[in-house]
């Protein structure tokens, strides 16, 4: 079963669609079972709800390019970035996602300000280094 879950995670949105389809099959079998036998297979609705929730999350957040939801360890900052952080006149901004130094609170690569930290003093620099990993 773990291999099937890993395969669903690795396939991203198509895996989410398959999980939703399997949930609908579980609900259909449950409905037919309820009409024929009075609800003998009680675990099928539970499996259907789990598959439906899992599939919905994959349909919304599944990214086939990244392939999975497994945690990836952040790389430590390079020596060139460390030198640039120490030499750049303050205040400046650092995008922790793209690792780019800029003079405005908006990253020039990802065009987002959410991951940009303003570096005004050594304490801000220490926190930025911790955010980089």
Q: How far apart are CA 100 and CA 98, in angstroms?
A: 6
Q: pLDDT digits over 84-120, tens only? A: 988 999 999 999 888 889 888 888 888 888 889 999 9
Q: pLDDT digits over 45-81, tens only? A: 899 999 999 899 888 877 655 555 555 677 888 889 8
pTM score of the predicted model? 0.49
CA angle 21, 4, 52 (to 5 degrees): 30
Q: What is the pLDDT of residue 109?
A: 86
Token pair of 62 as six digits: 């599944």
């Amino acid at each position: 079963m773990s291999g099937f879950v890993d395969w669903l995670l690795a396939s991203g949105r198509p895996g989410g669609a398959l999980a939703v389809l399997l949930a609908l099959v579980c609900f259909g079998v449950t409905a037919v079972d309820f009409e024929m036998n009075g609800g003998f297979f009680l675990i099928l609705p539970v499996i259907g709800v789990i598959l439906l929730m899992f599939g919905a999350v994959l349909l919304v957040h599944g990214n086939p390019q990244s392939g999975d939801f497994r945690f990836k360890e952040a790389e430590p900052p390079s020596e060139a970035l460390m030198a640039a952080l120490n030499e750049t006149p303050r205040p400046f901004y650092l995008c922790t996602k793209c690792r780019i130094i800029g003079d405005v609170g908006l990253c020039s690569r990802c065009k987002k300000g959410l991951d940009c930290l303003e570096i005004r003093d050594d304490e801000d620099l220490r926190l930025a280094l911790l955010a980089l990993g």
